[in-house]
Amino acid sequence: MKALLVYPRFPETYWSFRYALSFEGKRSAFPPLGLMTVSAMLPRGWQRRLVDMNVRQLTVADIEWADVVFASAMLVQKESLERVITACHTRGKKIVVGGPFVSTGAESLPHADHVFIGEAEETLPEFLSDLESGEEIKPVYRKQERPSLSLTPVPDFSLAELQHYSAMSVQYSRGCPFNCEFCDIIEIYGRVPRTKSNEQMLTELDELRRAGWRGMVFIVDDNFIGNKRNVRKLLPALTDWSERNGHPFSFITEASVNLAEDDELLKEMNRAGFRRVFLGIETPVEESLKEAQKTQNTRRSLLESVKKIQSFGMEVMAGFIVGFDNDPEDIFERQINFISESAIPMAMVGLLTALPNTQLWRRLEREGRLLSESTGNNIV
């Protein structure tokens, strides 16, 4: 069986870094970690080919080569995904679609043969079992369970064209303990963060190192410190691994602002080689934070929190939102002033967006305030 794994193209967004990448001579910021993980779950005898459309074009020859096409996408990649599905359907190829976009409500995609809703560790084995046994393959594979990450294999890093990426990606945890109204992460992965074991993480780093990667590694967790107890166990092991291997990687990740409350955790992250962290600051307006149920950002000065994290040698990137009901008329000036005073060099500022099936989406639907579906693009 020949499996073609396709990652649709991103439009111009904060995370695409498309114009900045040209200065590095790179084509994309990060590889499609989800598809590389799916590849590692496929039967050993299958042939695999990855096409990241942010790195190179999907060709007719690629599609003709395949017996089955796997595609994964986020909401912002929807238009590109639909073009991929149409191209594969036109050529009579079976296409399987999963990922965050379909898991938050896109159950019906024209011409997609099979849709996976939920995490691949639960849905993919059932699909493969039906395929192998000759059972009827279902149009939708849906699982509500949130699997242990001990089931997650080492991603198939060999599929990625490493030379075209600015950083490599690994995942340590899924889920976040907080309850932000606009967030879809807690809807997909839950509010009880699950983590991989130290051994799993170090094995993945060993594989990346053996593949020849050197440089930045993005730990893509939406909140790396969501499970602080386990993170405290990981960081010393990560520091030891880095020292034994000559510090081949530096790390970036995403975390909640309460990171600033934990000096020991900040010290351990610095020792382990963390050099950047992305924070969801959202707004300096406390009433808007309360509206968004983001009370963790109201417990101490946000400006002091940023400066505290920076003092431990980590550059702070951050997300900001305008458009809350409680925003004052001078919100734009307040946001600009905060970004300037905090010396945040990379700020993602966007309109409040009601992503499908979030608490915000449901509230606005009840209030009759939804006018159209979000594109997922923070700059539109």
Residues 286, 355 share a domain: yes
Q: Does residue 155 fall inside a structural domain? A: no
Final residue belonging to a domain, choices 126, 142, 158: 142
CA distance 18 to 329: 32
Point out the least confidently predicted range of 43-52, 67-76, 136-145. 136-145
**Count: domains in the chain:** 2
pLDDT in tens, 249-298: 999 999 999 999 999 999 999 999 999 999 999 999 999 999 999 999 99
Domain hosting residue 66, numbered range? 2-142
Q: Does residue 375 fall inside a structural domain? A: no
What pLDDT, on the 0 to 100 scale, is given for residue 110? 82
Q: pTM score, two decimals? A: 0.95
What pLDDT, on the 0 to 100 scale, is given for residue 379? 55
pLDDT in tens, 302-358: 999 999 999 999 999 999 999 999 999 999 999 999 999 999 999 999 999 999 999
What pLDDT, on the 0 to 100 scale, is given for residue 108? 62
pLDDT in tens, 17-53: 888 898 999 999 999 999 999 999 999 999 999 999 9
Mean predicted confidence (pLDDT) in 126-147: 92
What pLDDT, on the 0 to 100 scale, is given for residue 144? 85
Residues 173, 67 share a domain: no
CA distance 88 to 85: 5
pLDDT band for position 378 (cuts 50, 70, 90): low
Q: Does residue 158 fall inside a structural domain? A: no
* Average pLDDT in the chain: 95
Q: Would the pLDDT of 8 be above 80?
A: yes
Q: Does residue 209 fall inside a structural domain? A: yes
Residues 335, 257 share a domain: yes
pLDDT in tens, 163-208: 999 999 999 999 999 999 999 999 999 999 999 999 999 999 999 9
**Planar angle of CA 189, 260, 355, nearest 5 degrees:** 30
Residues 173, 134 share a domain: no
Contacts 24+ apart (CB under 8 A), 198-201: 198/233, 198/234, 198/237, 200/149, 200/150, 200/152, 200/154, 201/170, 201/172, 201/234, 201/237, 201/238
Residues 194, 109 share a domain: no
Q: Would the pLDDT of 380 be above 80?
A: no
Q: Does residue 241 fall inside a structural domain? A: yes
Residues 207, 135 share a domain: no
What pLDDT, on the 0 to 100 scale, is given for residue 287? 98
Residues 181, 129 share a domain: no
Q: Burial-class residue 343 by CB neighbours within 10 Å (0-12, 13-18, 19+).
A: exposed
Structure tokens at 199: 């051994």
Final residue belonging to a domain, choices 142, 158, 190: 142
Q: pLDDT over 90 for what percent of the chain? A: 90
Residues 61, 21 share a domain: yes
What pLDDT, on the 0 to 100 scale, is given for residue 70? 98
Q: Does residue 6 fall inside a structural domain? A: yes
CATH assignment at residue 67: 3.40.50.280
What pLDDT, on the 0 to 100 scale, is given for residue 14? 80
Instruction: State how far the alpha carbon of 138 is from the alpha carbons of 73, 127, 146, 201, 241, in Å.
Output: 20, 8, 21, 34, 44
Q: Does residue 57 fall inside a structural domain? A: yes
Q: Does residue 213 fall inside a structural domain? A: yes
CATH assignment at residue 181: 3.20.20.70
pLDDT band for position 103 (cuts 50, 70, 90): confident
User: pLDDT: is 266 or 143 the higher one?
Assistant: 266
Residues 130, 33 share a domain: yes
Residues 340, 192 share a domain: yes
CA distance 67 to 342: 52
Residues 199, 101 share a domain: no
pLDDT in tens, 78-100: 999 999 999 999 999 999 999 99
Residues 183, 138 share a domain: no
What pLDDT, on the 0 to 100 scale, is given for residue 134? 86
